[in-house]
Structure 1
Amino acid sequence: MKYKNPIRVVTAAALFDGHDATINIIRRILQDGGAEVIHLGHNRSVKDVVKAVIQEGAQGVCVSSYQGGHMEYFKYLKDILDDCGLSHVKIFGGGGGVIVWEEKIELEKYGISQIFHPEDGRRMGLEGMINMILTECDFDPRSITPKRIPKNDAYKKTFGSDPIPQIELGRALYAVEMGDKVDLAQYKLDDFKNKSGHLPPVIGITGTGGAGKSSLIDEIALRFLHFYPNLKIAIACVDPSKRKTGGALLGDRIRMNSLSRDRIFMRSLATRGSGVEISKQLIDVLDIYRKLDFDLIIAETSGIGQASSQITDLCDIPLYVMTSEFGAPSQLEKIDMIDYAHLIAINKSDRKGSLDAQKAVQKQYKRSRKLFDDNVQVPVFLTQAAQFNDAGVNQLFFEMMDQAKAFEAKNAKTPQADSKWNLTAAQKASVVAGASAPVIPGHRTQYLLEITNSVRNYKKRVQVLSDDLAIVGSLSRIGSTTLKDKINSGDIENFRNDVLKKLDESERKDLLSWDEKTKTYQADQMVFKVRDKEFRNPLTSLSLSGSKIRKVVFPKFRDWGDRFRFLKLENVPGEFPYTAGVFPLKRADEDPKRMFAGEGPPERTNRRFHFLCEGETAHRLSTAFDSVTLYGQDPDLRPDIFGKVGESGVSICSLEDMKKLYDGFDLCSPNTSVSMTINGPAPIILAFFFNTAFDQQVVKKEKELGRKLNDAESLDLMDWTLQNVRGTVQADILKEDQGQNTCIFSIQFALKMMGDIQEYFVKKNVKNFYSVSISGYHIAEAGANPISQLAFTLSNGFTFVEYYLNRGMNIDDFAGNLSFFFSNGLDPEYTVLGRVARRIWAIAMKDLYKANDRSQKLKYHIQTSGRSLHAQEIAFNDIRTTLQALLAIQDNCNSLHTNAYDEAITTPTQESVRRAMAIQMIINREFGNTKNENTLQGSFYIDELTDLVEEAVLEEFMRINERGGVLGAMETQYQRSKIQDESLYYEKLKHDGTLPIIGVNTFIDPATLKVDYVPPKIELARASYDEKQLQLNRVTQLKLDHKSDADKLLSDLKTTALGGENIFAALMKAARHCSLYQMTQALYEVGGEYRRNV
């Protein structure tokens, strides 16, 4: 369909919302429909969205919101746009079933163009939704006279401190793009004219696609805003239009963290059929920038080839950005920009060969300028824009500012006494970066290949030996028949001995003691030890009919080959390779179920925990935090923050909040364990938690002694607390970048803090608490299929192993602190997910890393699939959840959370949580088959599926390995792209009905197909206004009461981080007096913020 006007749409996920799978699908289809899409990615504030609309001249906004707070967010967005004179901008939103029908109607009455509800999706289809968006955005903003609709000074509160006239400039540039001659007075830009008498320097940045130009521009802009607090910068970035559709992904803005600040303006331009790396309108946009009061201008082209250098005609200081991957040095002679660039950045300098690349580029730079003196310094820099405070970027920036100063001096009409570009030695020294060690050293980047080979070689050896042993067993049986006189018994014995010599001692022992092991499992009781604690468990139970049901059924193989294959590939639960489970038997005193809660203020969630634990001896508390907490923020009165306080999780921003959350539970009791679903700010939340557990013990101890503890006693008690507290913190940063999107710090800094936590655990001998829950669940929720989920999760786990080893930790000191977390869906592969994970992990740990038995045991938590919960026919969700829970229990997961049926729409209610808990209890206590604990063993189907999934995972390891390992693959967005492709494939099959989903695309209730159908109201669990205000008041008071202590501790925290010391140890102290966001903000300053990816 052809549209009358170029259509521009801003797409984003709402503030504190990492669920970007849907909005990514939407932005892709909008591009295919011909729109120019400015994609902002996840976790975007209303200010970010409005600023993008203003600067980019967009006609529409599409925002997904799955984390609650949508009423406040969309109304606030509408208010600011109206107050900016942009009431004509169309706003589209969606949130699956989270935005219920009544809220949809209320928002649309408020002025939101359309909130897409699942019912709309079913009626209109995806194509119909996209056509609606494009049709409504097909208008020319120049034809509309801007009219401000004042809304509580919304514009002034948001942009009042910015000296750049954002709205007026945005409108002027839209006219420029449409080919108009622009009069500055017409657009009320006279007051912002350049009155200095000289033109600002234009930095022209170009380079190959994927070299990291956007990230480098952001780093330059951040330094500019830091060092020059009174200067202003304008940026213009060009991206290519699709020749076939005219659509474009204007993808630079998503990378720019600097754009959230004042004194910076950015416009994205599409080439619109120009066929070259610059758009036709770039010249005119730069001309407008030069006429205005900007001090520095940056122009960036789209990715170029070797012979392209058009940017040099438009700029004063050309910068060429490349990587070390240019091929042979002779290729440099073909690169036009090396001849013309004033600056060259070899970005992504952590890659192999970067130093050699720098030398080669320096030589070519000199050759092209006939500089034959070896001592001449040339401006070729090794940079790593992804690294916070990178030394190479600092050097590049300082040289750039020197060249800006030279440009100013050359073009000034009058001599300049003191240049505004001057930087003192002290200023430059303030950002001197220390050397950063690589996460994975160069000689270990092939670790996934080694793991794959280790598993495959292990299985090959098992196959060869099992074939030999089958012959040995057959010959032995012949020796006991009437045929014995016809064969040479000596030859049989020699062959037998030769084969047995190929086995190691433990293998021979296991094989020869097969009959003894058979008797062990035919007994009525088993005695075993876990960490020196003896357990006696019955091995049988009686059914109502009097049948004796064995907990573990040992196979009745007679063939030695079959026996050996079983022992090496399966074995009984609790024995290597742990395919059937990591413990001999399940605990009789504790079901694997978790008591999951998180809503409103901490007192409300605490009441839910006590409700769930009523009558239970084991308290396995699983905590969901609200999205404000997940992103390291404190409650705030700003509507897009305030609306999310206490929604979809509990609001925690201080030590006092954490104490209220777990009040009444002894956190050091052996029957209590706590799981915390938190990632970005996990080190801070964990510090709150450990201090809470410690303070509980202090109260108990002081009551027991009748006096206060002295310092030595407090230190001893803290160590005791850390060694006895049980639980898990999620804290998995790798999967955050790949799928979940709650990473808030730069990746390397976040990994550094993960390593600091683990080092702290090793030092303090923390054995009962998991420092990380390496998570596939969120990868699956983002759209990955079960094989990708498992492969990405295991590869992430092995990456942590390599990183911790690189930091000097011993494998057996930290492997026991690693746990895993998977989703369980209805795909067949989920049936064997745990079996495959345990076997791969165990073999790699034993054969490659030489780890002990405890380190070889992969322990994991299962949560039933959230993605399989549908807003349509929500009662059916319990059926899906029951089947998923059954699969998890049969596969001997170590912990299980069953989702409530209404989670597709709301935080679980008390009624729905009871039903979710009952699902597990019925399976564990009523379902007869679960009286046996190795039901999956011995099935031909399960055996084949296990091998099939295992090999598919190893193949994925190889693909990741080819891309430089997990971190190298993350650089190219391999995992994220694969997840999105699989998500799109799922949505396509769901949409066209190829993948049947009962009650959604088949077996649909006829009543729901009627035009006037309105979904029924359901009970919603939402935080009240008073509860939100309570949390806001608390954190405000905390900051007042603890200001002096907090200031010092925050300063100490930053000093610790800058000095490369253990950050978690400093957080343990700071957590006693500082709020969550105070510590987050301090760490941003010394470690950098996360940079989003498309």
Structure 2
Amino acid sequence: MCDHCSPCYTAQFPMTDQNKQDKAVYTPADLEALGFDPETDLGFPGEYPFTRGIQPTMYRGRLWTMRQYAGMGDAEESNRRYKFLLANGTAGLSVAFDLPTQIGYDSDDPMSMGEVGKVGVAIDSLEDMERLFDGIPLDKISTSMTINATASILLALYVAAARRAGADTRKLSGTVQNDVLKEYIARGTYIYPVRHALRIITDMFAWANEHVPDWNTISISGYHMREAGSTAAQEVAFTLANGATYVEAAIAASLDVDRIAPRLSFFFNAHNNFLEEVAKFRCARRVWAQMMREHFGAKNPRSWMLRFHTQTAGSTLTAQQPENNIVRTALQALAAVLGGTQSLHTNGFDEALALPTEEAARTALRTQQIIAYESGAAQTIDPFAGSYYIESLTAKLERDVLALQEQIAQQGGMLAAIEKGWVQSEIQNAAYEYQRSVDSGEATVVGVNRFTRDNEPGVPIQRIDEELERKQIERVRALRMRRDAARWQVSLDRVRDHARNGANLMPAILEAVESYATVGEIASAMREVFGEYEESVVI
């Protein structure tokens, strides 16, 4: 028998499209070449640089929060789905809003035609928010809201609904995504020019710190950049660069870094390359900890901790052989758990076709529960620590992330890089390269370009009742007829005044939602002052 050289291993285990840059075998020599030091590069769980996780006991002390992203049609329909998920063991809610709500248009606006309730729940007013959470104790559950350009309005609606239900608003816990920078990069649901959008965010930071102290006022998102086609290293580098930009904006607004940083949270994608994803999460924690302590001078150890939610990769789901998506999602979820996530959403297997059915949502939740209670994965903290391959991969990703951040600095910082279209171009190039490899057959997608079948059996899909749009339009129009017009007008004027004079916008927005001003009306009041963002063409 020959020595265990790479050629023999390659012959026995052919390279796949996802590991061509990796060696076949890793040894202690690989760690030595990296200058790997377990004490400084790893430490212990719950200790700087948090490579091994931010909690000393991790899941042995408390499991991750099992969130299931849901929202469809109108508030009543979504409320039924939330109660179904809570009854099946979901520990926290995650709200999907429809496109008009995300970009600040009411359901009866001509811009909203055909989109009301289609990709999430339609929320126009405080009445809708109350119906959305009817019978759900807001001070006893955690709610994540995937909302960005209109995040300030939706947070105000949530706080107002909690007040009217008699909840202690200082006990509210949850997150608004509120990461507008990635909207300009990868997703597109922006409203205002970049620098005005940042001002709204820092206003939320300051207001929430005083009034809803347990609320995470931003979830800095790499998820959508990965969905747009970024690499793992780009996902981490661009997400952390966005995070640094928000911290800089907060400091410029005279906010203390050690008051703001502990409330920052992140949102990452769990993609298909299982071991790369585990290493990615470990790398992200280490880079963020170093950035916060050494660059920003944060003194509070909680400021150094990268807390993150993970969602399995929607872009990897296939309409062909959709049952295969259950396997993809399970592996992605396991990578997130072994990578140390604090919160997790698992996609429904039918989401390449439509919003998930109850059966698909239940299967997705059961996937998490099986990992938590049957797999043993939660028993040991960072079980991959010290692995020749994982530590080498974590270090390689760290080098790639830092190199990308240096390129961002050369562009003049993240805001300048976004405004020039550089970040968008980098992601588009990565997406093109991957799609080219799929089209050529170099990269395998099971059931799509290999292992296909001729006759695809149909699967039941969730369909949104077209009548829901008409009913939602009738509701918002009826609200306008019966609200106190004088109070409503005064509240919108105050929003405009605060936008112009630099006063914190949140008290004015809260007053407006309590006066039954709609999401579209409040967003439009700020549009009048701030204007709208015009996208640069990236060539």
| TM-score above 0.5, yes or no | yes
Q: How far has the Cα of 1:1069 moved from its partner?
A: 0.7
Is 1:626 equivalent to 2:98 in the alignment? yes
The residue aligned with 2:498 is 1056
**SS in structure 2 of the partner of residue 819 of structure 1:** strand
Is 1:932 equivalent to 2:351 in the alignment? no
Is 1:1041 equivalent to 2:482 in the alignment? yes
Within 5 Å, which residues of 2 pair with 1:597-996? 597-614=70-87, 616=89, 619-636=91-108, 638=110, 641-669=112-140, 672-697=141-166, 721=169, 723-764=170-211, 766-827=212-273, 828-851=275-298, 852-996=300-444
Distance 1:874 1:942 in 2: 31
Distance 1:1044 1:619 in 2: 42
Within 5 Å, which residues of 2 pair with 1:505-524? none
Q: How far has the Cα of 1:933 moved from its partner?
A: 2.2
Distance 2:290 2:43 in 1: 13
RCO higher in structure (CA 8 A, sep ≥6): 2
Q: How far has the Cα of 1:931 moved from its partner?
A: 2.1
1:1074 aligned to which of 492, 517, 536: 517
**SS in structure 2 of the partner of residue 901 of structure 1:** coil
Query: Does structure 2 retain, via aligned residues, the 8 Å contact 1:1054–1:1082?
Result: yes
Larger Cα-atom Rg = 1
Percent sequence identity is: 36
- How many residue pairs get aligned? The number is 501
**SS in structure 2 of the partner of residue 796 of structure 1:** helix
Distance 2:83 2:420 in 1: 46
Query: Does structure 1 retain, via aligned residues, the 8 Å contact 2:63–2:378?
Result: no
Distance 2:395 2:78 in 1: 43
Instruction: Flag the 1:838–1:591 CA change in 2: closer, same or farther, 3 A.
Output: closer
Query: Does structure 1 retain, via aligned residues, the 8 Å contact 2:98–2:116?
Result: yes
Query: Does structure 2 retain, via aligned residues, the 8 Å contact 1:592–1:894?
Result: yes
Is 1:572 equivalent to 2:44 in the alignment? yes
Query: Runs of 5+ in structure 1 lacking a partner?
Result: 1-462, 468-561, 699-719, 1009-1014
Distance 2:489 2:174 in 1: 31
Distance 1:637 1:615 in 2: 37
Q: Deviations over 1:892-921 (max 9, x none)?
A: 101110111111110010000011111111
Distance 2:199 2:409 in 1: 23
Distance 2:245 2:412 in 1: 12
The residue aligned with 1:584 is 56
Instruction: Flag the 1:604–1:590 CA change in 2: closer, same or farther, 3 A.
Output: farther
Within 5 Å, which residues of 2 pair with 1:36-55? none
Q: How far has the Cα of 1:650 moved from its partner?
A: 0.7
Q: How far has the Cα of 1:1055 moved from its partner?
A: 1.0
The residue aligned with 1:343 is none
Distance 2:379 2:389 in 1: 21
Q: Deviations over 1:425-454 (max 9, x none)?
A: xxxxxxxxxxxxxxxxxxxxxxxxxxxxxx
Query: Counterpart amino acid of 2:204?
Result: I
Q: How far has the Cα of 1:778 moved from its partner?
A: 0.5
Query: Counterpart amino acid of 2:130?
Result: K
Query: Does structure 1 retain, via aligned residues, the 8 Å contact 2:272–2:328?
Result: yes
Q: How far has the Cα of 1:687 moved from its partner?
A: 0.8
Within 5 Å, which residues of 2 pair with 1:358-377? none
Distance 2:161 2:62 in 1: 27
Query: Does structure 2 retain, via aligned residues, the 8 Å contact 1:596–1:609?
Result: no
1:595 aligned to which of 68, 91, 113: 68
Query: Runs of 5+ in structure 2 lacking a partner?
Result: 1-31
Q: How far has the Cα of 1:971 moved from its partner?
A: 2.0
Q: What TM-score does the superposition give when structure 1 sets the normalisation length?
A: 0.45
The residue aligned with 1:1089 is 532
RMSD between superposed Cα atoms in Å: 1.9
**SS in structure 2 of the partner of residue 727 of structure 1:** strand
Q: How far has the Cα of 1:566 moved from its partner?
A: 2.0
Q: Which structure shows the higher strand fraction?
A: 1
Query: Counterpart amino acid of 2:103?
Result: Y
Query: Counterpart amino acid of 1:833?
Result: K
Q: How far has the Cα of 1:636 moved from its partner?
A: 2.0
The residue aligned with 1:297 is none
Query: Counterpart amino acid of 2:354?
Result: T
Distance 2:256 2:138 in 1: 28
Distance 1:947 1:783 in 2: 22
The residue aligned with 2:460 is 1019
The residue aligned with 1:1029 is 470
**SS in structure 2 of the partner of residue 1090 of structure 1:** coil
Query: Does structure 2 retain, via aligned residues, the 8 Å contact 1:1038–1:1075?
Result: no
Distance 2:88 2:242 in 1: 38
Distance 1:650 1:613 in 2: 18
Query: Counterpart amino acid of 2:533?
Result: Y
**SS in structure 1 of the partner of residue 416 of structure 2:** helix
